[in-house]
C-alpha cells in the first residue's frame, strides 16, 4: 500500500464561482469540519491512483479538504492480477453484467481476503483510533473489520450499482456482505443502488462532483486546445508554442510533450472535422464497440465532416482494470475491418497515463474540441465524463442509465437514449445534435447551469461534513 501526496487547494478558489450565500455556507461547514476533525485524520483507501472516476474525484476533493485544514490522506492498496480479476468480476456483477463469467466461490474469497490482510498492517500503522476511514468500492470492502478493530470510524463508499437487482447483483453482494455488515456508514451515489440488507439509518446518498479548476476542467481557449491536441499528435493543426504550459494539480507548471502513435492505426485526426467524442476506460460496460458500430452502420445520416473519436487510457496505465486491453483490441479489430471511408472517420485514441496532469489536460482539450460528447454506457455508476462535458457546455448524447439519469433530463440538459443497445436510435440522436446547432447550444448551456447548481465540490464537501458530524455524534 502506498500514499499519494495531496497538495492543499484553498476553498476560496471554489468559493469564487459560488453565490455569496453558497460561499458563506461552505465556509461555515469548513469551520465545523475543522472543529469536528481537529485531532483526527480522514483516510481514503482505494485501488488505483489513476484512471477512472474514483481517482479523478479523490485528487481534487481531497485537495480542498486539505485546503480547509482538515488532515485528509489517500492510500492506494496493492493487488495482484488474480485479485483485480476478482474485483473486476465483482464490479461487473454489481452492475448486473457477467464480465468474465467467473466464480466467486471459496477460492476467490480466500484470495481476496489474503490480499487485503496483506495490505492491512500498513493501514494499521498509520490510522489511529478515532480517525475516519473512507473505503472506496469492492476492492477495499474486506478491510472494514480490521480497521474497525483499531477503533477507526469506517465508512464504505460504493461508486457502482444498478437500479434493479438480478441474479448477478445478488451474487456480487453475497460475496461482499459479510465484509461490509459492520461498517459504521455507507455512501452510495443513488438510492436505488442500496441493497436491502444495508441498515437505512447508516446510509447517505452522495453523488460525485467535478472540480472546475482541475487540469481536466479548467476553461481552455481555442488556441490552448489546438496547442494541446497538436503537440500531442492527436489533431493535425497549427499551434503556438506559447500555449503549451499548464498548471499541475500541485500548482507547478507543466509543459505538454509530443507523442507519437496515440491515434491507433492512422495519423492524427484531421484539423477541420467536427468530432463526436466518447472518453472512457476500455470497459465493456462503456460500450465503445457499440458506439463505433452505431456510427459506422449509419454513416450516411451524418454530414461528411463528422468524425468519431473513441478515447481511453493506454491499457497498461490502469492497473486495476484487467479487461481494458481486450476491449481495446476488439475496437481495433472492428476498425481494421471497416471500409476505407468509415475507417477514415473513426479514430481510436489511447492517451498516455505516465503523467496524470498531462492526461487530464488532453482529455479536457478533446472534450473542449468535441462538437458533441457521447456516453453510451450500458450501465453507469455515475458518469463523471458526462459531468465534465456538461461543465464545458457541450451537448451530450448519453444512455438513460444509472447516475446519468441524475444529471440529464432528456431534451433539457442533453439527449438520453432509452435503450442503450439500440444503435440506430443512438446514431439518430447523434445526427440530430450535429445537424441542429441551436439545439446543441441550448442543451450545452442548460447542462452547464445544472453542473453549477448541483455537481460542484461545495455540495459534496458539505455532505461529507454532515456525515462526519453524524458519525462522531
Which parts of this chain interact with ligand UDP (CB under 6 A)? 52-53, 56, 216, 279-281, 311-313, 351, 359-360, 363, 381-385, 388
Q: Please identify, using beta-carbon distances, which residue of 362 and 446 lies nearer to ligand UDP.
A: 362
What is the closest distance, in whole angstroms, from the C-beta atom of residue 73 to ligand UDP in the complex? Answer: 21
Cell numbers linked to 51: 484512471
Query: Closest Cα to residue 382, out of 212, 186, 190?
Result: 190
Q: Please identify, using beta-carbon distances, which residue of 72 and 385 lies nearer to ligand UDP.
A: 385
What is the closest distance, in whole angstroms, from the C-beta atom of residue 41 to ligand UDP in the complex? Answer: 25
E runs forming strands in 280-357:
306-313, 346-351
Cα separations (Å) of 408 from 403, 413, 443?
A: 9, 5, 10
CB neighbours of 77 closer than 8 A, spacing ≥ 6?
1, 45, 46, 47, 115, 116, 119, 139, 140
What is the closest distance, in whole angstroms, from the C-beta atom of residue 190 to ligand UDP in the complex? Answer: 13
Pairing of strands 132-136, 396-399: unpaired
Q: Please identify, using beta-carbon distances, which residue of 56 and 108 lies nearer to ligand UDP.
A: 56
Q: Please identify, using beta-carbon distances, which residue of 116 and 311 lies nearer to ligand UDP.
A: 311
CA distance 37 to 33: 6
Q: Please identify, using beta-carbon distances, which residue of 403 and 444 lies nearer to ligand UDP.
A: 403
Cell numbers linked to 392: 464545458
Which residues is 4 bridged to in the sheet? 74
CA distance 402 to 184: 25
Q: Please identify, using beta-carbon distances, which residue of 313 and 444 lies nearer to ligand UDP.
A: 313
What is the closest distance, in whole angstroms, from the C-beta atom of residue 332 to ligand UDP in the complex? Answer: 16
What is the closest distance, in whole angstroms, from the C-beta atom of residue 286 to ligand UDP in the complex? Answer: 7
CA distance 188 to 108: 25
CA distance 273 to 426: 20
Cell numbers linked to 162: 444498478
Q: Please identify, using beta-carbon distances, which residue of 65 and 383 lies nearer to ligand UDP.
A: 383
What is the closest distance, in whole angstroms, from the C-beta atom of residue 465 to ligand UDP in the complex? Answer: 23
Alpha helices, DSSP H only, in 127-251? 144-149, 167-180, 222-231
For 462, other C-beta atoms within 10 Å of its C-beta total: 19
Q: Long-range CB contacts (< 8 A, 24+ apart) of 18-27?
A: 18/456, 18/458, 22/458, 23/458, 25/458, 25/462, 26/458, 26/461, 26/462
In the complex, which residue's CB is closest to ligand UDP?
53
What is the closest distance, in whole angstroms, from the C-beta atom of residue 281 to ligand UDP in the complex? Answer: 5
**Sheet (strand 185-188) strand order:** 2-4, 71-76, 41-46, 132-136, 153-158, 185-188, 203-205
What is the closest distance, in whole angstroms, from the C-beta atom of residue 362 to ligand UDP in the complex? Answer: 8
Q: Please identify, using beta-carbon distances, which residue of 99 and 383 lies nearer to ligand UDP.
A: 383
What is the closest distance, in whole angstroms, from the C-beta atom of residue 328 to ligand UDP in the complex? Answer: 11
Q: Please identify, using beta-carbon distances, which residue of 79 and 313 lies nearer to ligand UDP.
A: 313
Amino acid at each position: 500500500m502506498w500514499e499519494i501526496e495531496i497538495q492543499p487547494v484553498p476553498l476560496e478558489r471554489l468559493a469564487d464561482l459560488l453565490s455569496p450565500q453558497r460561499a458563506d455556507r461552505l465556509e461555515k461547514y469548513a469551520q465545523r469540519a475543522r472543529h469536528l476533525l481537529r485531532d483526527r485524520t480522514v483516510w481514503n483507501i482505494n485501488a488505483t491512483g489513476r484512471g477512472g472516476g474514483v481517482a479523478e474525484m479523490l485528487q481534487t476533493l481531497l485537495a480542498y479538504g486539505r485546503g480547509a485544514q482538515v488532515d485528509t490522506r489517500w492510500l492506494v492498496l496493492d493487488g495482484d492480477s488474480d485479485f483485480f480479476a476478482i474485483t473486476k468480476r465483482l464490479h461487473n456483477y454489481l452492475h448486473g453484467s457477467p464480465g468474465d463469467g467467473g466464480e466467486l466461490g471459496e477460492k476467490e474469497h480466500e484470495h481476496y481476503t489474503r490480499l487485503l490482510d496483506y495490505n492491512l498492517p500498513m493501514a494499521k500503522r498509520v490510522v489511529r483510533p478515532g480517525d475516519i476511514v473512507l473505503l472506496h468500492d469492492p476492492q477495499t470492502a474486506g478491510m472494514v473489520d480490521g480497521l474497525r478493530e483499531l477503533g477507526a470510524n469506517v465508512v464504505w463508499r460504493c461508486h457502482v450499482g444498478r437500479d434493479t437487482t438480478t441474479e448477478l447483483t445478488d451474487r456480487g453482494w453475497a460475496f461482499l456482505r459479510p465484509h461490509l455488515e459492520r461498517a459504521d456508514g455507507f455512501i452510495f451515489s443513488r438510492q436505488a443502488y442500496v441493497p436491502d440488507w444495508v441498515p437505512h439509518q447508516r446510509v447517505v446518498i452522495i453523488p460525485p462532483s467535478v472540480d472546475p479548476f482541475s487540469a481536466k476542467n479548467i476553461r481552455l481557449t481555442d488556441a490552448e486546445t489546438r496547442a494541446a491536441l497538436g503537440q500531442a499528435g492527436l489533431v493535425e493543426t497549427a499551434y503556438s508554442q506559447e500555449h503549451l504550459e499548464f498548471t499541475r494539480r500541485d500548482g507547478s507548471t507543466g509543459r505538454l510533450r509530443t507523442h507519437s502513435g496515440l491515434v491507433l492505426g492512422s495519423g492524427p485526426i484531421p484539423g477541420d472535422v467536427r468530432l463526436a467524442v466518447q472518453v472512457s476506460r476500455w470497459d465493456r460496460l462503456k460500450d465503445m464497440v457499440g458506439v463505433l458500430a452505431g456510427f459506422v452502420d449509419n454513416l450516411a445520416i451524418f454530414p461528411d465532416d463528422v468524425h468519431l473519436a473513441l478515447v481511453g487510457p493506454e491499457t497498461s496505465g490502469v492497473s486495476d482494470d484487467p479487461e481494458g486491453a481486450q476491449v481495446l483490441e476488439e475496437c481495433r479489430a472492428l476498425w481494421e475491418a471497416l471500409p476505407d471511408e468509415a475507417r477514415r472517420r473513426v479514430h481510436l485514441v489511447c492517451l498516455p497515463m505516465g503523467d496524470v496532469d498531462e492526461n487530464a489536460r488532453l482529455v479536457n482539450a478533446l472534450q473542449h474540441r468535441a462538437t458533441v460528447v457521447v456516453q453510451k454506457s450500458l450501465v453507469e455508476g455515475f458518469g463523471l465524463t458526462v459531468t465534465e462535458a456538461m461543465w464545458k457546455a457541450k451537448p451530450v448524447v448519453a444512455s438513460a442509465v444509472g447516475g446519468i439519469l441524475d444529471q440529464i433530463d432528456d431534451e433539457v440538459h442533453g439527449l438520453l437514449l432509452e435503450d442503450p443497445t439500440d444503435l440506430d436510435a443512438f446514431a439518430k440522436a447523434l445526427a440530430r445534435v450535429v445537424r441542429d446547432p441551436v439545439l446543441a447550444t441550448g442543451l450545452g448551456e442548460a447542462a452547464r447551469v445544472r453542473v453549477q447548481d448541483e455537481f460542484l465540490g461545495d455540495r459534496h464537501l458539505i455532505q461529507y461534513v454532515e456525515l462526519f458530524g453524524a458519525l462522531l455524534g
